Structure formats: structure tokens, C-alpha cells
Chain A
């Protein structure tokens, strides 16, 4: 890694990274990759998020689903851990709660492949600062 030496460097790096990251998330993405985020805070991991993440990584690969599986922090829904957020191209992200392997399997087969929603999705109920 090279050092960032000035504020201008930092800003340039940010815009490069932003386009890289938004490319993989935004709808304009021609490849239409799916982004799957697994909530990996202490409570998530305690309720099995690690296994779910491994399962999702292995299975999306095996089943030829073009998805990026990444981890993220605690989403705040402790009552429904493990939680998994799936963002399909062109659509708002959807959060699934209480995800076990069976549900993870359904997420791939039903939601990602067919766009069918599953029982137990968690409605988002907060605002982020950028919308202000």
C-alpha cells in the first residue's frame, strides 16, 4: 500500500474508491452483481453469522450466482440475528432476519434467482444522514 500524502490525494482516492464500490452496488452496473452483506458483530457471530457467511460464499459460487458476499457490523436488529442484507441490482436493499442455512438457501434460490420475497424480512426503520 502506498501512503496518502496530501488532502488532494485523499480526495482523489475517495472518488476512485467510491466509483469502484458504487459500481458494484449501483443499478447501472452492467454485470448486475448482487451484494450480500452479513451482519458480523458479536451478537451476529454468537448466533451463527459466520457459518451463514461461509455457506453463502460457497453456495453462491457453486450455484453460479454472481454475488459479492461481504461482512459488515451490527445492524441493530438483535432480536433477529443472524441478519443478512441483500441488494439486487436496481432495487432497494432487503434485510432478512433469523437466517439459518435453510433460509440462506431460500435467499439464493428464491430471492436472488427469482426476485421472490421471503417471510421474515425486516422492514428498515431508520434514516441515514445522507438523505437529510
Chain B
């Protein structure tokens, strides 16, 4: 009997249920036959506490502590399912007998991550056993480049690096530009803070990227591939190197691959880890040994890229989808997802969520499903406030958007974007003004400084936000924030500046009252902006134990033993130490 031990189920008396089940098993002398085990979160917290019985996979939901007796006597002893506790499919309205048939288990579908956690990434044989290089073999030997491009077009794959440009179309354009040498580039810069799907793919399944790059090269008639990866990813680099060596030894990279007459080889190029290096023109300059500054498009890399030659740039996750498209067919791939966004997307779930981690879901899934079912809901049973998607280029969405199906176009329509797939969940303790200030701080640091709107404008945005979080802002400042944001978006040279005001604009749209409270009442409801809050001791609760005073790093708390203590506001640095240490809930934030 597996009992969910996640925080969500714990909150709904799961612990007592666990104890009761153990007791029942003991009392019925079943200790040797039945084992009661607490598990990690099932991610089905809405219907918790969960009990799953194996080996028959019966899935019981909303089980109460007092149900323990019946579960043991009926299911364990008599082998009859307790019908009233079975999960009922919300659509079909029928009871589900075992978990393998639950829609919930179909929430995650692994295409790009299919081999991550399944094969040994340092052993090419395991990749070969998992259909590795078969797609490449068939494309090289049995298909014409235009047909292979057509397959990618039909699949409807769009770039996973942020922009969502149709991959097949990109290949088609690159194939039509003729030159004596062309290049295929894999963008493994992954600069979005909080995103680590590209790293995980390269660490867990490096060959899939190599295989896709060969296919890409064949389609556009390029014989050289370059992987641009940040030097901060040493393990990914090590595994890539091993993979390249192994592929060369097997003749899957190099001259006359599989007797097809097609040559292709891959080299690694290192980046120093700046956000702007992920922008494709800047990336190309960086590979050329120039400063990593973006240049105006057109010309697009497909026309004039690396060393002035036609260059096709794709993201790691985009590539990881390619072999599957050829192995399972464009039609299969296009059957997953929404009308204009096909397939799956990998998200890095982070923030105030229970199941922090990497997930891969079909496009069209809702934010609610991702956050509350797969993500297991908000930590500590707190209230959901916002979710930030798309990193520094994206926006903050609210509960209003929880039922929006996630795809490229829907996220754009509600003022955010897919970006590379970072997803940071915030709860009631997060101040949205401070959140947008955090992103702007990142942008200011990462702006390359080439164009003035981005270099100066973002800095001014950051300062305005700073003024507001200190309680010195006015309503005029809010208008200025918006106007300046619009100007930066319209006039910046590259995607960095064109999207950097998004965190500001989306929080202004969705959390305007919070900004107003900061400027009109000098209040931060989340209690995060230090200048706007004050720590006070509640006299009724204070027993005079002196713990707060002893832990205060600036000695601003005074009071005799067994007497009510006081905080000297002029000295307090708002470090929160007193509140953390007080066992009597006598410290409060005003």
C-alpha cells in the first residue's frame, strides 16, 4: 500500500491515515504480506490523500484516516476494491479501476527527454539500442533533402529556443541559399536563469543532438556542425565530447556516413555564459572571435551567418525532437499539441512549488494542470499568486490565466511568452514589484550596451522600480514605467531589449493595485520591500525570553528578562532574525 507522503496529502491528514493503515495491518497480522509505504508526491494533490495498491494498481483518492480499516479488511484481506474511494474520471464519469488508465498519468509525455534517465549517456551502444541514428540513416540513404524538410514542415515543429519559428521553414530557407560552405549550429547557450532543459538533454542524451545535426546538415547541404555551449556546463561538455568521439569511431560522423556519400562533422565552441550570447547573431559573432554583440536582421543567419556563410541555428531541445519525427512520422508528431503548436515542451518548474523539476508536457495543457497536478501545488499550503513564464523576456500570469492552454500563441496573447521554458511559481509572500525589479536587474547586467534603448532604458526602468520599492514612487512613475517600457520594446536592436520590459508590463497589467499600494500608501502587502515594512513586538505575546535580543545582529532589541521587549526602528536592518527565532509568535511585520 503506497500512501502519498507529499506536503499536499500531509496537509489533508495523510499522516494519520498512514499510521492507521500501519496499525490495521499490524492488528490483522498481515505484516509479512502487506507493506505500508509512504511515497513522494503523486502530483495529484487536488484529490489527496492518495493510496495506491500494488501490484493491481488500484488508485484510491480522498482517503480519510477512518477509511484505513475498510481498506485493509476489504482490499487487503478479501481482495475486493472499495468502490466509493476509487477515482472517477471527470469526463467519462466512470470509476477507474487502476492507475494505468488514468488521464492524469498521460499528463507528461516524453519526446525530447525520452532517453534522459533511461540510457547511459556515455555509451553509444545504449543510444543505438534505443533506435539511435536510425532516423539519420534513413534520411541519408532513403530520402531526398527536400522530402526530409517536408517531413519537418508537416510535423509542425517550432523552435524551442524561445522564438517559436517553424523549424522546417528555417531549413527550407537555408537550403535554398547556395554557397561553397554552409554551417549548422546548435545553440546550447541556455542563458535564461532557471532553465536547465538543454543542459539535461546534453547530459542525458547527447547523441540525439548529434544525430539531428547530421540530418539538418544533409537537408541544407552543410558539412560542418558547431555546438555553441557555455563553459559553465562542464558535464554536458564532457559527455558531448565522449559522444562525438564515439560517433566518429562508428563512422556516424565523418566522411561518407553509412556509405551515403555525405560528409558531416561536429565541433564544440565555448561561450563565456552571457545571456545575449544566446541571441543567434551575437552567438555567431562570438564564435567568430568577435565581441558577442547582436547585429541587425536581415541579413538572417540563413543568408549570411558564420564567416558570412549561410548558417542554420537551432536550439538543443528543437534538435532533440528531430529523430523522433522521422522515427514515428510527422503525422504522429502533429497529432500532439494544439493547432499551431505541435508536440511537447519541456519546462523547468521552480519557485514556491512542491515538485521542483523538469517536466515535459504536450502543448495545450493548462497552467493549472502543470502547477497543481504535475507540480503538486504550492509549498506549505500557501496561496498561488502568479506564475512567471519565459524568463527575463516573459511575463507574470495570474489565476485568471490558469486555464489557458499553454502554447506559443496563447502565452503571447496574454502578455507573456514560452521563452525557453522556465516557469517560476510565486505565492502570497512574493511582491510583484520586487519580482519585476529582480528581472530588470538581470537585464541591466546582461545588456551588451550596443544600443541605447536597451543600455540606458533598462537601467532607468530598474531605477524607477527601485524608487517604488522604497516607497518613494508616485503615480506618475507608474505612467513613466509604462511609456519607457513601450519605447524600449519598439526601439531596441535585438530580442533582449525588445522583450526585457515584459516582466514590468505584465505585472503592471495584472497587479496594478500592488504598484498603487506601494506609491500611494507606501505599503508592500507581501511584506518583502524592506523600506516599507517594520518589525514590531506584540506585547501580549512577548514573554521576555530574550532570544530575539540575543540573535539580533545589530543589537536593536532591548528589554529586561521577563519583560516585554522593544525594537529600535532607527537601527533595525529588517533581517528577519528575530521573527525566525521567536517561539511565541510575538514578532510581526507591519
Contacts and interface: CB of A to CB of B under 8 A. Distances in A.
A76 B358 CA distance: 4
Nearest to A96: B40
A119 B6 CA distance: 11
B265 interface: no
A73 B203 contact: yes
Most buried by B among A9, A20, A43, A129: A129
B250 interface: yes
Given A7-B137, A71-B122, A75-B116, A14 B129 contact: yes
Interface in B245-259: 246, 249-252, 258-259
B109 interface: yes
Given A78-B358, A119-B5, A120-B38, A42 B203 contact: yes
Closest 7 CB pairs of A and B: A73-B204, A126-B108, A3-B251, A75-B117, A76-B358, A73-B116, A78-B357
A126 B110 contact: yes
Contacts of A20: 125, 129
A123 B37 contact: no
Contact of A10 (B42, B137, B358): B137
Contacts, number: 171
B365 interface: no
Interface residues of A, number: 50
B43 interface: yes
Nearest to B353: A79
Interface string B198-212: 011101110000000
A21 B115 CA distance: 14
A41 B131 contact: no
Given A1-B250, A73-B121, A119 B39 contact: yes
Interface of A: 1, 3-7, 9-11, 13-14, 17-18, 20-22, 37, 39-43, 45, 70-80, 85, 97, 116-123, 125-129, 132
Contacts of B115: 73
A129 B203 contact: no
Interface residues of B, number: 70
B116 A17 contact: no
Contacts of B117: 37, 39, 72-76, 85
Most buried by B among A5, A122, A123: A123
B111 A129 contact: yes
Contact of A70 (B120, B196, B252, B356): B120
Contacts of B360: 76, 126
B554 interface: no
B357 A77 contact: yes
B114 interface: yes
Contacts of B141: 6-7
Interface of B is mostly: mixed
A79 B355 contact: yes
Interface stretch (B99-107, B284-292, B307-315, B561-569): B99-107
B109 A125 contact: no
B109 A71 contact: no
Most buried by A among B128, B196, B332: B128
Given A21-B125, A76-B116, A128-B114, 16 more contacts: A3-B251, A10-B258, A41-B204, A42-B235, A71-B120, A72-B204, A74-B200, A76-B359, A97-B40, A116-B35, A119-B37, A125-B107, A125-B374, A126-B360, A127-B105, A127-B109
A129 B109 contact: yes
Nearest to A83: B117
B443 interface: no
Contacts of A39: 117
A100 B142 CA distance: 50
A122 B39 contact: yes
Nearest to B360: A126
Nearest to B119: A72
B469 interface: no
A77 B353 CA distance: 13
A73 B205 contact: yes
Contacts of B129: 14, 17-18, 20-22
Contacts of B201: 73
Nearest to A120: B40
B328 interface: yes
A33 to B, nearest CB: 15
Given A1-B249, A14-B131, A72-B121, A118 B105 contact: no
